[in-house]
């Protein structure tokens, strides 16, 4: 385990351990959440060493087996969790009609394939080998294992997307630097994240599925994510709710809390979360933040 002594956003050393949360998904190990008393950012601290991180994810064999066998289910899951592909497409094309797009953490790349079919030049980064190879073969996409684009160091993109990825990355600041470098000057950055100030987060407490420790290393609110954008010279354009996530997260949280989850309870909780968000400063269970690089003077 590695203990962070400074806040990843503002570098303050004024930190306090505020929550103890079990890994409900896999190991049941308990993890601490630190709060920066300067800027309010929450992060998993200590965090697993880089070499230990894979053990908190399903093994690659398991994933590939699951993907091969449950293609229909994974498609349904993809839809439910990440909103529909057409919705993502329409959110982006409201800002930019066409161009080049980089999806970081592209998984099996259904989203990139959807964009490519509509005329976008689509590139992905996916560290796991199986989904990367799957996307290359099935959709003939360019998918790289990391930020290393070989001889294309000057490549830049019109749009960069991270759908529920930034909360997982090992080095938050390194990612933001790389993203900033890879995005064109008037480029669009689209980042989807869970929101720990949502109704379902408060309702389920330590059982809230989107804490997802230790896979989620950073836990953003709208306020702390705005601070991160500001640090890297991005201007927020708009914030769009991911209403389906309230249902998905409520379903999992209910399961973690009581051992089972009913369809009825899921619908009620998801509905209540979305209803509350409308009244409380857009605090939906998950949010998509759209931002642009500030023009350099």
- Min separation Cβ 190 and Zn ion, Å: 24
Q: Work out which of 38, 74, 93, 239 binds Zn ion, going by CB under 5 A.
A: 38
Please identify, using beta-carbon distances, which residue of 7 and 63 lies nearer to Zn ion.
Answer: 7
Q: Is 42 in the site for Zn ion (CB under 5 A)?
A: no
Please identify, using beta-carbon distances, which residue of 7 and 290 lies nearer to Zn ion.
Answer: 7
Binding positions for Zn ion, 7-36, rule CB under 5 A:
7, 9-10, 12, 36
- Min separation Cβ 107 and Zn ion, Å: 30
Which span (18-26, 39-47, 48-56, 152-160) binds Zn ion, by CB under 5 A?
39-47
**Rg for the chain, CA atoms, rounded:** 19
Angle, helices 263-279 vs 243-258, to 10°: value is 130
- Cβ proximity of 86 and 105 under 8 Å: no
How many positions of this chain bind Zn ion (CB under 5 A)?
8
Q: Is 41 in the site for Zn ion (CB under 5 A)?
A: yes
User: What is the spatial distance between Cα 5 and Cα 258, in angstroms, rounded to a whole number?
Assistant: 35
CA atoms 16, 42, 28, 56: torsion sign = negative
- Min separation Cβ 34 and Zn ion, Å: 10
**Residue 220 neighbours by CB under 8 Å, 6+ apart:** 41, 42, 167, 193, 194, 195, 196, 228
Q: Is 39 in the site for Zn ion (CB under 5 A)?
A: yes
**What's the length of the chain?**
297
Please identify, using beta-carbon distances, which residue of 37 and 67 lies nearer to Zn ion.
Answer: 37
Q: Which residues bind to Zn ion, rule: CB under 5 A?
A: 7, 9-10, 12, 36, 38-39, 41
């Amino acid at each position: 385990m590695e203990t962070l002594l400074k806040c990843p956003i503002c570098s303050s050393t004024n930190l306090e351990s505020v929550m103890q949360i079990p890994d409900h998904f896999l190991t049941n190990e308990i993890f601490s959440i630190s709060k920066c008393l300067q800027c309010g950012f929450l992060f998993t601290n200590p965090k697993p060493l880089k070499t230990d991180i894979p053990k908190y994810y399903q093994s690659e064999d398991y994933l590939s087996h699951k993907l091969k066998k449950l293609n229909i289910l994974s498609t349904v899951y993809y839809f439910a969790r990440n909103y529909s592909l057409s919705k993502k497409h329409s959110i982006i094309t409201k800002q930019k009609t066409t161009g080049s797009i980089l999806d970081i953490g592209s998984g099996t790349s259904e989203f990139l394939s959807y964009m490519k079919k509509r005329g976008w030049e689509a590139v992905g980064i996916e560290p796991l080998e199986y989904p990367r190879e799957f996307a290359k073969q099935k959709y003939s996409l360019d998918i790289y294992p990391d930020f290393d684009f070989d001889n294309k160091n000057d490549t830049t993109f019109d749009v960069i997307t991270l759908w529920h990825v930034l909360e997982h990355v090992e080095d938050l600041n390194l990612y933001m630097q790389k993203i900033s470098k890879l995005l064109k000057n008037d480029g669009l950055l689209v980042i989807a994240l869970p929101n720990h100030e949502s109704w379902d987060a408060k309702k389920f407490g330590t059982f809230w599925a989107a804490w997802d420790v230790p896979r989620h290393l950073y836990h953003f609110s709208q306020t702390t994510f705005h601070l991160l954008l500001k640090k890297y010279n991005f201007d927020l354009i708009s914030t769009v709710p991911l209403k389906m996530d309230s249902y998905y997260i409520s379903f999992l949280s209910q399961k973690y809390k009581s051992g089972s989850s009913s369809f009825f309870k899921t619908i009620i909780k998801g509905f209540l979360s979305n209803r509350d968000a409308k009244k409380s400063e857009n605090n939906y269970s998950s949010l998509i933040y759209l931002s642009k690089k500030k023009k350099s003077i």
